[in-house]
Each structure stands twice: as structure tokens, then as C-alpha cells.
């Protein structure tokens, strides 16, 4: 599906009113934003995989009223809507979080089939998700860190630097 570029609130309201029960994803970006340019190919690829989802792009400098409606303060920000109701948001250029949030809210999977492996009667049960996550702690921690507010990241860096210099002095 093609990506629609949103330039005004009236245009956005028109798009959303035509697809009241459909999932829409708005990519709030800016021309000067490096991470926005990095994740743009991922967003475009997802628009081709998920045919039953509206993919919209909004330049925050060109359509400040649209960005203001959704209180966008960081770029890129991806806002997920069902009809005109906001159901989720992803801040930052995190392809994994974008794909996971899209998969969770989309009514159809990219392949058109069931997601998951399934199980036959008599088979051993699959490991619990918490067990799988425990085996891959580092990526989960990294993903959690990348989703933190920039002010919290600065605080963590400062505390780590303070501890480093206290230890070596």
C-alpha cells in the first residue's frame, strides 16, 4: 500500500473518517532528522507488507497542527490509531519496536497466515515467554534503554561516569 503524506488536520481527518475501523500508523518526521531518514526504508517496507493498514507520514515542520494534536516532541514518533482513537505510540528509530507494535495492532499478519508455531497434541509445551526472554537478556535490556527518555539516559550516563571516576581516583 502506498504511503499518504499528511499536510493538514483536515486531510488527516478525511483519511481517518474513510477508514474508521482500520489501523493507521503516522510517521512523524522532520527533514533535518537523521534517525528519521534511517528508519524510513523500514516504514516503507512495512507499508508493502501490511496491506490492511493505512501508512501516513507527517513532516512536523510542515504540519505543526497535526504534530500538536498528538503531542509529538521527538522525531521520529510513530502514532498508532484505530479509527481516530490513539492506541499506541513508538518513539525513536527502533525498527524492532515499530514492527512488534504494528504486528500487535494489525488485524492481518504480513503473510496472511497465523503467527506462531502451533503445537500438536502430545507434544511438549513451548517454553514460556519469560524463559525465552531470560535467554536473550542483553537485547531486551538494550531495547528498554533505547526507549528511555533522553533526560533519564543523561542521568544514567552521569551516574556511571561519577562511579567510574570515584573508583579510579
Active site residue ranges? 33, 36
Of 54, 51, 48, give the one whose Cα is nearest residue 20: 54
The DSSP line for 86-110 is EEEEEESS-HHHHHHHHHHH-SS-T
Distance CA 72, CA 68 (A): 6
Distance CA 39, CA 122 (A): 43
Helix then strand then coil, in percent of the chain rounded to 5, is 45, 20, 35
Q: Which residue has the cell 509529538?
A: 72
Q: Which residue has the cell 550516563?
A: 157
Contact yes or no for 22/54 (Cβ under 8 A): yes
Of 133, 16, 156, give the one whose Cα is nearest residue 79: 16
Distance CA 94, CA 102 (A): 12
Amino acid at each position: 500500500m502506498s504511503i499518504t503524506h499528511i499536510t493538514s488536520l483536515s486531510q488527516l481527518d478525511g483519511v481517518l473518517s474513510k477508514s474508521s475501523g482500520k489501523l493507521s500508523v503516522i510517521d512523524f518526521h522532520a527533514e533535518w532528522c537523521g534517525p528519521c531518514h534511517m528508519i524510513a526504508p523500514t516504514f516503507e517496507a512495512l507499508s508493502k507488507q501490511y496491506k490492511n493498514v493505512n501508512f501516513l507520514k507527517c513532516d512536523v515542520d510542515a504540519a505543526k497542527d497535526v504534530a500538536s494534536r498528538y503531542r509529538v516532541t521527538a522525531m521520529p514518533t510513530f502514532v498508532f490509531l484505530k479509527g481516530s482513537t490513539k492506541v499506541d505510540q513508538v518513539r525513536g528509530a527502533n525498527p524492532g519496536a515499530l514492527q512488534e507494535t504494528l504486528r500487535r495492532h494489525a488485524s492481518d499478519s504480513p503473510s496472511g497466515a497465523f503467527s506462531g508455531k502451533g503445537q500438536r497434541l502430545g507434544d511438549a509445551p513451548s517454553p514460556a515467554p519469560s524463559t525465552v526472554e531470560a535467554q536473550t537478556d542483553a537485547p531486551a535490556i538494550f531495547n528498554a534503554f533505547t526507549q528511555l527518555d533522553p533526560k533519564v539516559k543523561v542521568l544514567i550516563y552521569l551516574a556511571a561516569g561519577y562511579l567510574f571516576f570515584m573508583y579510579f581516583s
